[in-house]
Structure 1
């Protein structure tokens, strides 16, 4: 155990801290976080369009007409189908903030760059014909989750080019009397031209290759391998272990790991959303909602079961008080009171279940969905603070099995935490007893 603690302190923690402070990863994480409210809003309309209530469709059709479902899905398209554009804006904005350059101009140029490398052609075959026709237009698939990796690359590249020109002072400077907004617009002219020129040349070069465009080459080289790994049970387990090890080292594990994996998991959410909307079989088990709703019951480490143990089963005064403080936030998947109050950080006893319990929960949840015992998540982005079992019910498209799995995970985590909880609780009670003896011998208050 001392060897593990020494490894975390001396080897793992310094590397993790450097990775967590890397500005590009921070910008990716924060830029994607900017899109979450929009995706949740779109998900609310998706839920309303497919509420699993008998007679609901006939009721809505009688109330709003035959096109009620199509009309309800407009906001879904305006959020999910433009996800890559929001990401291109958000990442460039956050990275520009860190470089202390004009974030608004940088973000606008990033969006222009993303649209520049995106094919402006839609191919379709009219019904009853064999001939394929091409019309002008950007495919929604490429402005949605499928184009997210390209959006990330373009946002970073365009911001770095912009920063280079600003750093070298290759900008148009206006006289002091010119309004700041106008001055900033002219200052972005040369850096913006350099960004557009660079990405335009890249597009022309890729057109003469077998790939054809940036979306194809990024999808083949980066997107497919990451999706295969990130969408697998092994990928989920690796992500969980790294996140938990970061937590016990004192670093916000989910913020770092989720920041890296979000582009993969969000794209898998959208694949599920499209399949669910079309009435097809849902393809993916692992995605953002799987990790947020079924792994994070009670917070990182699946700690709602532990919060219940602290509240109902603690014998020591300290742990009993912690249980009272932790149970409320834990119901909404916030567990900082447990992580810092127990604590979990560098705790030689509790760090073992804190790392292993989520691995068991993720594995059980994966096979429950993969084998068809529990419904897969339906591409509906439910806020991670949604209490169990409501979160599981909504994330699976209104399926009771999703709610049941969340409740089962709470019971399972409580059972797995229990032996370690008892050791820690007994240790704290013994410390309090020793303190009472010391206080009695000195004539001071017995209060621990």
Structure 2
């Protein structure tokens, strides 16, 4: 199985790293604060309805202003952020003295999107397609406008002014031709398209894709999406980074449609809403791993699995499941292939059954993915009564699916640990392990668990120098480096979860020891402009497919890029001293 996985993995990594796919994903990530912010207004306006309280119409309408002019213009903003993301990729390949102006590209993308999307009315204009229903059109505009700019800038087809002209004025004239070309091309296209179809492009796209929207809400469609994300992650390629760009417009449109149904007082029926991916398909993280850490703590007999459970339980509760994925490990571990793929499919099927057959309201609000899934399901469905039954059912079903595979793996590890402990104890008794040789002494009468713990911890606390003094000197030398040098570190992962844990570990240690080390964390694609101010970028293993793209950016700014393996990265998040030494040794 591993050989088969290794053969197909490069193709999926290449797709995930494609600059156009990345621009769509990163452009949407940049607009996530808008979605979260707007949802606050909606929850204040409508969640009290679950307890029979209704605001006066005037109050509700006032609250909806915050939603309508943020989420209601989401596609307009996404057109600009997608264009900005692709522009950053194009600029990596252009000379530093002849770059595309990102601000000009954002403006051009938003102008052209408005031209394509606004529908004239007798009394004004219809702004419907500037919101969630215009997302696909926004992506198209956001990808094409930077390509137009790249053509003109790369070939120096611009208005050139004498060198005596101030730079800001010269830049304005330099942007004139690509801006004019972008707007003119889309204006002509919009006029001709409306003459041919009688409607605007985003509305036509929705009509054409309506069968896809419908299919995504079917049992088969939902299972394919859930299974695909888990399958890609199992191969070691961050699943949502491949699947999300394709289905995000559907999820957002369905979430808005669900809210409209709720406002109209009818059944909230669209299953594949936005948080359905975060809380149902990825119940606790991709692979629906919420229950795994708890099972490891309370049921595992293996010392390794118990230790992983203790380290992973808090992150896993908040859907940061990399400690489980890389620590157990689940990904690339054939024993867990079936439950890892099947569990998300079963979860979303149960959710659909509750919504379609039992009449439970589906998800209508968008909440941050880091909210614990059991709480998120209840809150995002507007505290639907049946959601209080669905959550414990999902927990129970997930345990049942994973249990036989977990028990088999646990037995396998227990046998390996017993053999290893016996070997260490025998060598120690025979005196064959000299002091300071890289393996700590095992006390007489040590249990299997303690022996394994000592044996496994030794390599991380004792170096190959052959003396404890050398370790102390190395640590002092590393700390002195950060007392003398100001170092800025950026940690990048998929969603900002595990990267935040690692950055916090470094910052905590830096503050305690008065070091000049500062670390920050981001989701890949978020605030990438920070890279130019960093000394080092640490890339989490789940984003390994982005290594090539990121290397171009770090090379451009002369920043050190360091990649990590799965267990290494999780170990760094749990050990500040190890993380500090890792940074120092790689600079």
Q: TM-score, normalised by structure 1?
A: 0.90
Deviation at residue 396 of structure 1 after TM alignment? 0.5
The C-alpha deviation readout for 1:195-237, integer Å capped at 9, x for no partner, is 111111112211321343323432333x323312333332221
- Equivalent residue, structure 2, for 1:29: 25
- Equivalent residue, structure 2, for 1:130: none
Structure 2: distance between partners of 1:418 and 1:316: 15
The one of 90, 93, 112 aligned to 2:84: 93
- Equivalent residue, structure 2, for 1:427: 412
Does 2:43 correspond to 1:52? no
The one of 34, 38, 50 aligned to 2:34: 38
Structure 1: distance between partners of 2:263 and 2:166: 49
- Equivalent residue, structure 1, for 2:502: none
Alignment of 1:68-217 (within 5 A): 68-100=59-91, 101-122=100-121, 134-137=122-125, 139-217=126-204
Structure 1: distance between partners of 2:360 and 2:266: 16
- Equivalent residue, structure 2, for 1:321: 307
The C-alpha deviation readout for 1:309-353, integer Å capped at 9, x for no partner, is 011111111000000011101111110001111112210101221
Deviation at residue 178 of structure 1 after TM alignment? 4.2
- Equivalent residue, structure 2, for 1:258: 244
Does 2:368 correspond to 1:377? no
In structure 2, the CA distance between the partners of 1:344 and 1:184, relative to structure 1 (3 Å rule), is farther
Question: Secondary structure, in 3 states, of the residue corresponding to 2:160?
Answer: coil
- Equivalent residue, structure 2, for 1:244: 230
In structure 2, the CA distance between the partners of 1:174 and 1:277, relative to structure 1 (3 Å rule), is farther
Question: Secondary structure, in 3 states, of the residue corresponding to 1:251?
Answer: coil
Unaligned runs of 5+ in 2: 92-99, 434-440, 443-450, 453-587
Does 2:390 correspond to 1:405? yes
Greater RCO (Cα-Cα under 8 Å, separation 6 or more):
1
In structure 2, the CA distance between the partners of 1:90 and 1:226, relative to structure 1 (3 Å rule), is farther
In structure 2, the CA distance between the partners of 1:278 and 1:437, relative to structure 1 (3 Å rule), is same
Question: Secondary structure, in 3 states, of the residue corresponding to 2:197?
Answer: coil
Unaligned runs of 5+ in 1: 123-133
1:231–1:287 Cα contact (<8 Å) kept: no
- Equivalent residue, structure 2, for 1:353: 339
Structure 1: distance between partners of 2:118 and 2:34: 25
- Equivalent residue, structure 1, for 2:459: none
In structure 2, the CA distance between the partners of 1:403 and 1:27, relative to structure 1 (3 Å rule), is farther
Structure 1: distance between partners of 2:215 and 2:51: 38
2:88–2:102 Cα contact (<8 Å) kept: yes
In structure 2, the CA distance between the partners of 1:54 and 1:21, relative to structure 1 (3 Å rule), is closer
- Equivalent residue, structure 1, for 2:13: 17
Structure 2: distance between partners of 1:343 and 1:148: 37
1:302–1:410 Cα contact (<8 Å) kept: no
1:298–1:330 Cα contact (<8 Å) kept: yes
Deviates more, 1:189-198 or 1:250-259: 250-259
Deviation at residue 179 of structure 1 after TM alignment? 4.2
Structure 1: distance between partners of 2:63 and 2:181: 42
Structure 2: distance between partners of 1:182 and 1:417: 63
1:162–1:192 Cα contact (<8 Å) kept: yes
The one of 321, 325, 335 aligned to 1:335: 321
The one of 354, 379, 383 aligned to 1:394: 379
In structure 2, the CA distance between the partners of 1:144 and 1:435, relative to structure 1 (3 Å rule), is same
1:266–1:288 Cα contact (<8 Å) kept: yes
1:275–1:282 Cα contact (<8 Å) kept: yes
Deviation at residue 109 of structure 1 after TM alignment? 0.2
Structure 2: distance between partners of 1:321 and 1:274: 47
Structure 1: distance between partners of 2:387 and 2:108: 42
Does 2:314 correspond to 1:312? no
Question: Secondary structure, in 3 states, of the residue corresponding to 2:206?
Answer: helix
Deviation at residue 283 of structure 1 after TM alignment? 3.2
The one of 430, 433, 440 aligned to 2:425: 440
2:280–2:373 Cα contact (<8 Å) kept: no
In structure 2, the CA distance between the partners of 1:232 and 1:79, relative to structure 1 (3 Å rule), is farther
Q: CA RMSD in A?
A: 1.8
Structure 1: distance between partners of 2:341 and 2:84: 35
Structure 2: distance between partners of 1:373 and 1:298: 25
Structure 2: distance between partners of 1:165 and 1:402: 55
Deviation at residue 184 of structure 1 after TM alignment? 2.7
2:290–2:319 Cα contact (<8 Å) kept: yes
Structure 1: distance between partners of 2:388 and 2:106: 40
Structure 1: distance between partners of 2:388 and 2:170: 55
In structure 2, the CA distance between the partners of 1:343 and 1:183, relative to structure 1 (3 Å rule), is farther
Structure 2: distance between partners of 1:184 and 1:342: 54
The C-alpha deviation readout for 1:97-147, integer Å capped at 9, x for no partner, is 11113221111100000111124412xxxxxxxxxxx2232x231111111
The one of 6, 11, 21 aligned to 2:3: 6
1:391–1:403 Cα contact (<8 Å) kept: no
